[in-house]
Amino acid sequence: MGIQLSIQQLAKRYKTGEGVTGINLDVKKGELITLLGPSGCGKTTVLRSIGGFLEPDSGDILIEGKSVIKVPPEKRPTSMVFQGYNLWPHMTVYENLAFGLKIRKMKKAEMEKAISEVLKLVRLPGAERKYPTQLSGGQQQRIAVARSLLLKPAVLLLDEPFSALDAKLRHEMREELREIQASTGLTMVFVTHDQEEALSISDRIVVMNHGNIEQIASPQHIYDEPETLFVAQFIGKMNFIKGVVASDRVIVGQLTFPNSKRLTGNIKLAVRPEDVIVNGKEKQGLPGTISQIMVLGHYAEVSIHLQEHGTIRSFQPRDFVKELHKGQEVSISFAKALTFPESQT
């Protein structure tokens, strides 16, 4: 599978000091890559540089092996779906979709066929004569996606396209985008600050922080093996507990773990809530008291106050917590834990 998009040593800095530096990223043909990070981390700067809406200070961007750094946005083999739908309200769906094709001088018969096919793809067949105001927010965003698909871009860019939708619609649109991507084989670069969204739709996730890339990996790998403390804090729920390295073992109270990273001194232990084991108080582990039990559908979140380490959270099966109660003394151990230097940010 060839490289469809290559970003090489991209840098763009604003007067505020924000921006990106030294961004290197290769995206394979047919891959859906998500740029994920907090506001101001540089993800939209990278996306807009790919689309030609920003001129980088240095670096290069290659699409299908050709540099596009000097090519204006309208002549790049890219198309962007924005957060706002950007549909013309006085035009019908057909007219909105046909606009870009007319500029490309497509024949009418071909245009009608292409529009009919793309509306089926986004599950809005027969919507040609409707106006945007007659459509729901989710339907308008589908039309915005359809408009970009019609241009047959080498790379489709999506800038937080579902953030204006409610939670249920967002979930549905993610599934539909995945289906569209699978059926078209399009290469997509998706920007979001929503980690759940990134985990659910991506082939790979690019986690960004302060204008730099922290980690690039599959959603499963990012979740299971975060490389930095920032990624561990940003992706999913995580408990952090102070520990220390002694005799080349990581020690937290009565619990010990391998020091696989060969750390020294004070460390932070990172533990997913699903890896926290709740035992009876007589078992060896970290002593604590249950401070809260919240049933969240098929599982429950149990908050435990540890005597020397503050409160940690554990995800437990719903049936298991029937035997637990607030104020109960328990002992905590961990099925799996990650270690990081305490000073790492």
Contacts of 171 (CB under 8 A, 6+ apart): none
Q: What is the pLDDT of residue 168?
A: 82
Q: Are 331 and 279 in contact (CB under 8 A)?
A: yes
Q: What is the pLDDT of residue 138?
A: 82
CA angle 218, 35, 345 (to 5 degrees): 85
Q: Where are the alpha helices (DSSP H) in 69-194?
A: 93-103, 108-121, 137-150, 167-184
CA-closest candidate to residue 18, choices 49, 39, 48, 35: 39
Identity of residue 122 = V
In the predicted model, residues of the chain with pLDDT beneath 70 are 1, 344-345
Strand partners, 191: 35, 159
C-beta neighbour count of 104 within 10 angstroms = 10
The Cα 285–Cα 112 span in angstroms is 68
Strand bridging mode 188-192 / 32-36: parallel
Contacts of 194 (CB under 8 A, 6+ apart): 163
Query: What H or E segment, with its residue span, contains residue 221?
Result: helix 219-224
Q: What is the pLDDT of residue 344?
A: 61
- Six-digit token pair at 73? 């946005």
Q: What is the pLDDT of residue 171?
A: 85
Q: Domains in the chain, please, with CATH? A: 3-231 (3.40.50.300), 238-341 (2.40.50.140)
Q: What is the pLDDT of residue 65?
A: 95
Over residues 319-344, the pLDDT tens digits come to: 898 889 999 999 999 999 999 998 76
Q: What is the pLDDT of residue 40?
A: 87
The Cα 123–Cα 114 span in angstroms is 14
Provide the mean pLDDT of the chain: 90
- Six-digit token pair at 171? 């979930």
Q: Are 4 and 195 in contact (CB under 8 A)?
A: no
* Alpha carbon separation from 237 to 107, 123, 162, 341, 345 (Å, rounded): 53, 35, 22, 19, 17
Strand partners, 196: none
Query: What H or E segment, with its residue span, contains residue 116?
Result: helix 108-121
The Cα 268–Cα 303 span in angstroms is 19
C-beta neighbour count of 109 within 10 angstroms = 8
Strand partners, 290: 304
